[in-house]
Structure 1
Amino acid sequence: MASQTKTYIVEHLDPELGPWSELEYMAIARESQAAGAKFCLSSLPPTFKVPDSLQALPSFTAETRGVEELYANDKARVCLLDPAAASDLSPEDGDKFDVFLFGGILGDDPPRDRTSELRKKGFEGRRLGPVQMTTDTAVRVTRLVVQGKTPLHDIPYLDHPELKFNEHESTQMPFRYVKGDDGKPVMPEGMIDLIRKDSDKAIDDLF
């Protein structure tokens, strides 16, 4: 089982794709491809338009079906990344599961907690630690653990880093990131420009 290709699935329930999510998904698709893994967006509304940039990547697939339907007979293969799970993700989980599922809490009002819906459907869960991560960070950390065999607590993190745009402008990010070799948070290409351009908007609006 360990040799099976890993698939990272993000449930995307929004009818549209915000600029923030698009950059995150591009980063996930590129990194998955480089790691020999697949990336899937599931539960897409029928009207959803997948950007050409994502469509062009062989590692990427788009699905209107939800994960319950995709893996109806294979639930045991699927690991739900769930903050309320009883145990943390470990390198051994890479031998046990080959599908890793990220359920979003998206812009619905009131919010639909997709993770708790999926938990009730019987998908086994694992935690990624106590600090909220961006979607691409959650997938990156999962891949480092299950494909890179790095224990969760050995990954270098940066919590709530401050991004300095110039000597007068900076913004603090409310998330945990993987720390890059340059000591800076690993972020999708183009993300810092997007945040700087939109620093007058709330971060919530960028999703």
Structure 2
Amino acid sequence: MSNPKGKTYIVEHLDPELGQWSELEYVAIAKETQVAQGTFLLSSLPEAFNVPPALSQVPAFKPERRGVEELYANDKSRVCLLDPSASSDLGPDDGDKFDAFLFGGILGDDPPRDRTSELRKKGFEGRRLGPKQMTTDTAVRVTRMVVEDKIPLDEISYLDFPELKFNDHESTQMPFRYVKGQDGKPMMPEGMIQLIEKDADKSIDDLF
């Protein structure tokens, strides 16, 4: 399953449908993984799952019906589970130890639900991404920066709980940690700010 050019990033998709929020995140992950010459897998997809065109047209993306424990049945030790409850943080050396990095469903729940617990029970070695809750695309982005670009977790520039201002009267505070972009703003998927503004009357949970 390993790709000699780049790493494999796997989201175990635990929901029967794909909300707008998750679709934007997954497209962002797929495009960034494409640039890095890696592979982005959505695993454990139900039979009725429809892959949106924006995602299926990115060559790095691979839909997968099988679960990660089946995919890596013979080399489980090469898979790293990004787990908030792990005892040690992800480090640059983990890029040499692991080929694949596994993210348990929707990370961006607020407050966080422990959706990695089922994967933890399957025996994958875990690493933390620090104390703050991240969106799924941020978690994959940070993981890539650490294991491929060899930047330690504590040397990445973050923006915690940024406020998004839509106009003089409307704004919303995001309950997540983001990577700080070169423009000084949080790195977010294309179209995400527009989605949040359009649904400003909904809670964050309703957008996934």
Relative distance call for 1:187 and 1:66 in structure 2 (3 A) is same
Tell me which amino acid in the other structure corresponds to 2:27. M
TM-score, with structure 2 as normaliser: 0.94
Aligned length: 204
SS of equivalent to 1:158: strand
- Displacement of 1:112 in angstroms is 7.8
CA contact (8 A) 2:106 2:136 kept: no
Determine the C-alpha separation between the residues in 2 that align with 1:105 and 1:128: 15
Paired position in structure 2 for 1:80: 81
| SS state at 2:116 partner | helix
- Residue 90 of structure 1 corresponds to which residue in structure 2? 91
Q: CA deviation at 1:3?
A: 5.3
Map 1:10-25; keep pairs closer than 5 Å.
10-25=11-26
Per the alignment, do residues 3 and 62 of structure 1 end up closer, same or farther by CA in structure 2, a change over 3 Å counting?
closer
Distance 1:127 1:60, change over 3 A: same
Deviating 4+ runs (over 2 angstroms)? 1-5, 111-114
Over aligned residue pairs, what C-alpha RMSD do you find?
Answer: 1.8
Is 1:40 the counterpart of 2:34 in the alignment? no
Q: Which residue of 2 aligns with 1:53?
A: 54
Deviation (angstroms), 1:4: 5.2
| Unmatched 5+ stretches in structure 2 | none
Q: Which one-letter code corresponds to 2:18 in the other structure?
A: L
Contact 2:81 2:126 in 1 (8 A): yes
Post-superposition CA distance 1:63-117 (Å, at most 9, x none): 11110111011101100000000100000000000100000258xxxx9844111
Counterpart-to-counterpart distance in 2, 1:147 and 1:14: 29
Instruction: Look up the match of 1:26.
Output: 27
CA contact (8 A) 1:105 1:115 kept: no
C-alpha spacing 1:2/1:67, structure 2 compared with 1 (3 Å) = closer
1:12 maps to a residue whose letter is: H
* Whole-angstrom CA distance in 2 between matches of 1:52 and 1:13: 20
Query: What are the Cα deviations for residues 110-139 of structure 1, in whole angstroms up to 9, with x where unaligned?
Result: x98441111111100000000000000000
In 2, the alpha carbon distance for the partners of 1:134 and 1:186 equals: 11
Residue 200 of structure 1 corresponds to: 201
Asked whether the 8 Å contact 1:7–1:99 carries over to 2, the reply is yes
Change (3 A) 1:194 1:105: closer
Identity of aligned residues (%): 76
Contact 2:3 2:39 in 1 (8 A): no
Aligned 8 A contact 1:2 1:96 in 2: no
| TM-score, reference length from structure 1 | 0.94
Cα distance change of structure 1 residues 204 and 112 upon mapping to structure 2, 3 Å threshold: closer
Could you tell me how far 1:5 is from its partner in structure 2?
2.5
